[in-house]
Amino acid sequence: MTQPNPLRDPRDRRLPRIAGPCGMVLFGVTGDLSRKKIMPAIYDLANRGLLPPGFSLTGFARRDWADQDFAQIVHDSVKAHARTEFREEVWKQLAEGFRFVPGDFDDDHAFDQLRRTIEELDEERGTGGNHAFYLAIPPGFFGDVVGQLKEHGLSTPRDGSWRRVVVEKPFGHDLESARELNATLGEVFPPGSVFRIDHYLGKETVQNILALRFANEMFEPIWNNTYVDHVQITMAEDVGIGGRAGYYDGIGAARDVIQNHLLQLMCLVAMEEPVSFDAENVRIEKEKVLASVQLPARLDKTTARGQYAAGWAGGQKVEGFLDEDGIKKSSTTETYAAVTLNVATRRWAGVPFYLRTGKRLGRRVTEVAIVFKRAPHLPFAASSVEELTQNALVIRVQPDEGVTLRFGSKVPGTQMEIRDVNMDFVYGGSFTEESPEAYERLILDVLLGDPPLFPRHEEVELSWKILDPILAHWAKQDANGKGRPEAYPSGGWGPKSADDMLARDGRTWRRP
Amino acid sequence: MIELMDTNAAQIAAEFTRARARAGSPAMGMVMTLVIVVDEDDAEDAMKAARAASHEHPARVLGVILGDGRGAPQVNAQVGTGSGWSGETAVIRLSGEVVKHAESVVLPLLLPDSPVAIWWPNHPPEDPAADPLGRLAQRRITDAASATRGKTRAIHHQCQVYTPGNTDLAWTRLTPWRALLAAILDQRPVKVTSASVTAERISPSADLLAAWLVDRLKIPVERKNSNGPGITEVVLRTNQGDARISRPDGKLAVFSVPDRPDRPVALKRRELPELLAEELRRLDEDDVYAETARRLVALEGKRTK
């Protein structure tokens, strides 16, 4: 890009960014992720006119399919899950770019065919040698696939074109495996060409955290340990593990959610103002947060874990985790995890960050709550402020995206009775009803080569450094029989040990 | 919908508050006020479009219907919330002398401290920015293509009276075309030597597109006629051959650039709610439209000289 495009103008903000000529190769086309998220997002992007003309999607799987069979799978998934209206003409032009290559990950012949397919696409559809490889497959196969890509010359771009690889969590299961995984990918693709998807970072409300903090004057002055008492970051799911026993057993809630989503949310809440909002500068600030995290000395008192028990959730009778198909009775995989983290910086010293996540909890909700200290002095009778708790600023990530401010207010008609009230800003029903899915934004960013929303391997490794001692502590408890995940009733808010964990600090969990 | 006969702004405002309390959500999540000045005949369609756009931009929508200016002044209103609206709505019918003083009804109903957009779905005032209602707004939306006669003159006129904050849906309609044309030059930075825009004989959007290309690329642009619908083809001539986007049916276009296979690309003519939603997304001055409008006026001046 030597000379600027005269038709583009930074002031012309109506013009959407359209990806340049390119194609995507999707490994693992039959998985949930592909069918529920990736394929619909690709259609939605096409419908919004953001994919380049001639965009092509190549499926690779161990299925005896022709191109049309693959197109049918995509068609069904788009019909069922796409966000935008189904339009025949959009579908037609998109479907012309569908190809399918059958084969195993160790099948040289199949990868040869994949290379030929891509070369043909460059010829027929003008994809220009630019291709993204989306590995929607278990990480155990990453090594095989990227090895094959390298061997068959698929990973090296010609001059003036690009090759990128897209991977999903889990990014390993501990520091060591994460390093191995990064080494595997790094052998074939340079760091700038590896895109790790943490779909939380594609969410509008998560991006709004940075807008809220750094575009406003009234929050940042109180965003520190002078005013903030503690921070609670919650991601609760109302469902169980469903049919994912094979994936979930041995992984558990901490690896599945805390390592990526919750630590990323914590970074955005805790980080200092970046020099600018480009990828490099935001990453530097996020890494500083992760690097300054310190674990409390007594992990037995500052962490909690649990497994959901059989019971009633939302009016339905549900099975306990240990009764789920494919889960051993003796499994110590946690479905609930809560941890206490300290961010050792001048801004956050003495402000604990409580992170919790779990399955089969009361409702599906993700939120960040900044809980403020009590007013140093209350010039009211003690009885007037009995119902007044601590002020809080809650960033609701999903569902019902928005911001809640919680403060005390006089109850009308009483002499002086002060009670908590909520002031809501609803982002969801308003701005975002028409706003894109996280996957649309992220896939488009991959095709544009725009990296700010993707965690780099340094962040992944730092996250594991935080989590590894906790996981080791739990494993030790399991081994010497001193503890195991506590059963908690389905449909509630987690095990008692998690409540005790906060009670020791004189605090309670918000009911989200 | 609550009917208020022979009413005034204070009563309409009080009804907004009551309606919110009745709906059980007294909080206001609205981000702007949208004023629609419209005929009785087109009021329903315009309000429908605003309703769809209000999903993305929750707004207090005030439909102002200017009736017969003779007779005793009267203000009637229908006030409502909910049921498909993510905001509040009032249709205010004015007749008699108050028709000339519509701003006196609208001003007290603007949401505090938030932006105001105004939209004339059909007959815009001579100078939107000088109009008493237009002055209340920082975004003034006209639609030259809605003029029943003299659409071409309508867009030239809007460009002549351009004031920061003005915009025309004829410009909004061009965004997908402009995006694709920009994509051609993203892909290969070649020198464009001349261009042509083919469209229905009368097409304010096509005139604007030609003016935009002249302004950005400093090249001669030929304006050719076809049977439509809308714009049917744009060609950029370069020293490496022609790059072309043609859309004969208003839905699907063919994208062709030199040395590359032709590719189909969806390029659907968009409906009013989508156009309105795009317009409301940004409320600051549209510099590129300003330059394009200036260029259109200059080109027209040269042509008629």
A98 strand-pairing partners: A57
B4 strand-pairing partners: B77
B64 strand-pairing partners: B37, B92
Q: Is residue B160 part of a domain?
A: yes
Distances in Å between the Cα of B232 and the Cα atoms of A248, B145, B177, B208, B224 are: 54, 16, 11, 14, 10
Indicate whether this complex's ipTM tops 0.90: no
B193 and B120 within one domain: no
Q: Is residue B286 part of a domain?
A: no
**If contacts are CB pairs under 8 Å, which of residues 426-465 in chain A contact chain B?**
426, 429-431, 433-435
Q: Is residue B299 part of a domain?
A: no
DSSP structure string for chain B: -EEE-S--HHHHHHHHHHHHHHTT-------EEEEEEE-HHHHHHHHHHHHHHTTTS-EEEEEEEE--SSSS-EEEEEEEE-TT-SSEEEEEEEEGGGGGGHHHHHGGGSPTTS-EEEE-SS---SSTTTSTTGGG-SEEEE-GGG-SS-HHHHHHHHHHT--TTEEEHHHHTTHHHHHHHHHHHHH----EEEEEEEEESS-HHHHHHHHHHHHHH-S-EEEEEES-SSEEEEEEEETTEEEEEE-SSSSEEEEE-TTS--EEEE-PPPPHHHHHHHHHH--S--HHHHHHHHHHHHHHHHHH-
B185 and B146 within one domain: no
Question: Is residue A200 within 8 Å of A477, Cβ to Cβ?
Answer: no
Kind of pairing between the strands at B116-119 and B32-38: parallel
Q: Is residue B125 part of a domain?
A: yes
Nearest to B263 among A8, A87, A125 (CB): A125
B124 and B160 within one domain: yes
Question: Is residue B167 within 8 Å of B292, Cβ to Cβ?
Answer: no
Half-sphere exposure of B42 (CA within 13 A, CB side): 18
B227 and B159 within one domain: no
pTM of the model as a whole: 0.83
Q: Tens-digit pLDDT profile for chain A (512 aa)? A: 456 788 888 888 888 888 888 999 999 888 888 998 999 999 999 988 888 888 999 999 988 899 999 999 999 999 998 888 898 888 988 998 999 999 999 899 999 999 999 999 988 888 888 999 999 988 888 888 999 999 999 888 888 889 999 998 888 889 999 999 899 899 999 988 999 988 888 877 788 899 999 999 999 999 999 999 999 999 999 989 887 888 888 889 999 999 999 999 999 999 999 998 888 898 899 999 999 999 999 999 999 999 999 988 888 888 999 998 888 988 999 999 999 999 999 999 999 999 999 999 988 899 999 999 999 988 888 888 888 889 999 998 877 778 899 999 888 887 888 888 888 877 655 444 456 778 888 899 899 888 778 888 899 999 999 999 999 999 999 999 888 999 999 988 999 999 999 999 999 999 88
Query: CA B8, CA A405: separation in Å to the nearest integer?
Result: 35
Distances in Å between the Cα of B163 and the Cα atoms of A281, B123, B255 are: 39, 18, 35
Q: How far is CA A472 from the centre of its chain?
A: 24
Q: How many angstroms away from the CA of A444 is the closest CA of chain B?
A: 15
Query: CA A328, CA A439: separation in Å to the nearest integer?
Result: 34
Task: Look at A53 and B263 and tell me if their CB atoms are within 8 Å.
Answer: yes
Q: How many angstroms away from the CA of B92 is the closest CA of chain A?
A: 24
A85 lies within 8 A of chain B by CB: no
A412 lies within 8 A of chain B by CB: no
Q: CA nearest B182 in A: which residue? A: A7
Task: Look at A423 and B27 and tell me if their CB atoms are within 8 Å.
Answer: yes
Q: CA nearest A55 in B: which residue? A: B263
Last residue of a domain, one of B124, B140, B168: B168
A126 lies within 8 A of chain B by CB: yes
CB atoms within 10 A of CB A278: 12
**Which residues of chain B have a Cβ shorter than 8 Å from any chain A Cβ?**
27, 29-31, 55-58, 86, 172, 175-176, 178-183, 185-187, 189, 216-217, 251-252, 255, 257, 260-261, 263-268, 277-278, 282, 286-288
B183 and B132 within one domain: no
Question: Residue B84 has what pLDDT?
Answer: 59
A404 strand-pairing partners: A394, A424
Query: Domain range spanning residue B151?
Result: 2-168
Query: CA B160, CA B144: separation in Å to the nearest integer?
Result: 13
DSSP structure string for A5-56: PTT--TT-TTSPP---S-EEEEE-TTSHIIIIIIHHHHHHHHHTT-SPTT-E
| A219 token code pair | 């929050």
Task: Look at A92 and B264 and tell me if their CB atoms are within 8 Å.
Answer: yes
Between helix A175-188 and helix A142-151 the angle, nearest 10°, is: 20
Query: CA B214, CA B288: separation in Å to the nearest integer?
Result: 13
B33 and B108 within one domain: yes
Between helix A438-448 and helix A39-47 the angle, nearest 10°, is: 80
Q: Is residue B195 part of a domain?
A: yes
A12 lies within 8 A of chain B by CB: yes
Query: CA B217, CA B215: separation in Å to the nearest integer?
Result: 6
Distances in Å between the Cα of A213 and the Cα atoms of A119, A208, A270, B34, B108 are: 47, 8, 10, 29, 33
B219 and B148 within one domain: no
Q: Is A109 a catalytic residue?
A: no
B104 and B144 within one domain: yes
A407 strand-pairing partners: A421
B200 and B79 within one domain: no
R_g (Cα) of chain A, nearest Å: 25
List chain A residues with CB under 8 Å of B29.
Answer: 424-426, 429-430
CB atoms within 10 A of CB A158: 11
State the DSSP code for A383: G
Distances in Å between the Cα of B121 and the Cα atoms of A68, A152, A164, A435, B170 are: 45, 59, 47, 25, 12
What sign has the CA pseudo-torsion A267, A269, A270, A276? positive
B179 and B150 within one domain: no
Question: Is residue A26 within 8 Å of A59, Cβ to Cβ?
Answer: yes
Q: Is A195 helix (H, G, I), strand (E, B) or coil?
A: strand
Question: Residue A421 has what pLDDT?
Answer: 87
Question: Residue B301 has what pLDDT?
Answer: 82
CB atoms within 10 A of CB A82: 19
Q: Is residue B280 part of a domain?
A: no
Task: Look at B183 and A18 and tell me if their CB atoms are within 8 Å.
Answer: yes
State the DSSP code for A310: S
Task: Look at B31 and A430 and tell me if their CB atoms are within 8 Å.
Answer: yes
Q: Looking at the 3D structure of chain B, how many domains does it have?
A: 2
List chain A residues with CB under 8 Å of B27.
Answer: 423-424, 426
Q: Is residue B301 part of a domain?
A: no
A26 strand-pairing partners: A59, A134
Last residue of a domain, one of B117, B137, B168: B168
pLDDT < 70 positions in chain B: 24-29, 81-86, 305
Q: CA nearest B54 in A: which residue? A: A430
Class of residue B26 by CB neighbours under 10 A (exposed 0-12, middle 13-18, buried 19+): exposed
Query: CA A356, CA A72: separation in Å to the nearest integer?
Result: 40
Q: How far is CA B1 from the centre of its chain?
A: 27
Q: Is residue B288 part of a domain?
A: no
Domains, in order of start, for chain A? 23-168 (3.40.50.720), 201-504 (3.30.360.10)
CB atoms within 10 A of CB A66: 11
B118 and B48 within one domain: yes
Question: Residue B260 has what pLDDT?
Answer: 79
B30 and B122 within one domain: yes
Q: CA nearest B213 in A: which residue? A: A7
Residue position matching structure tokens 């520091």: A175
Query: CA B90, CA B34: separation in Å to the nearest integer?
Result: 11
| Set A173, A199, A261, A457: catalytic member | A261
Q: CA nearest B265 in A: which residue? A: A53
| A483 token code pair | 């503890």
Q: Is A490 helix (H, G, I), strand (E, B) or coil?
A: coil
Task: Look at A15 and B216 and tell me if their CB atoms are within 8 Å.
Answer: no
Kind of pairing between the strands at B139-142 and B116-119: parallel
Last residue of a domain, one of B168, B197, B214: B168
Query: CA A109, CA A62: separation in Å to the nearest integer?
Result: 13
Nearest to A126 among B31, B58, B263 (CB): B263
Query: CA A370, CA A230: separation in Å to the nearest integer?
Result: 6
A229: left (phi over 0), alpha (psi -120 to 50) or beta: alpha
Query: CA B155, CA B205: separation in Å to the nearest integer?
Result: 9
| A24 token code pair | 């995507």
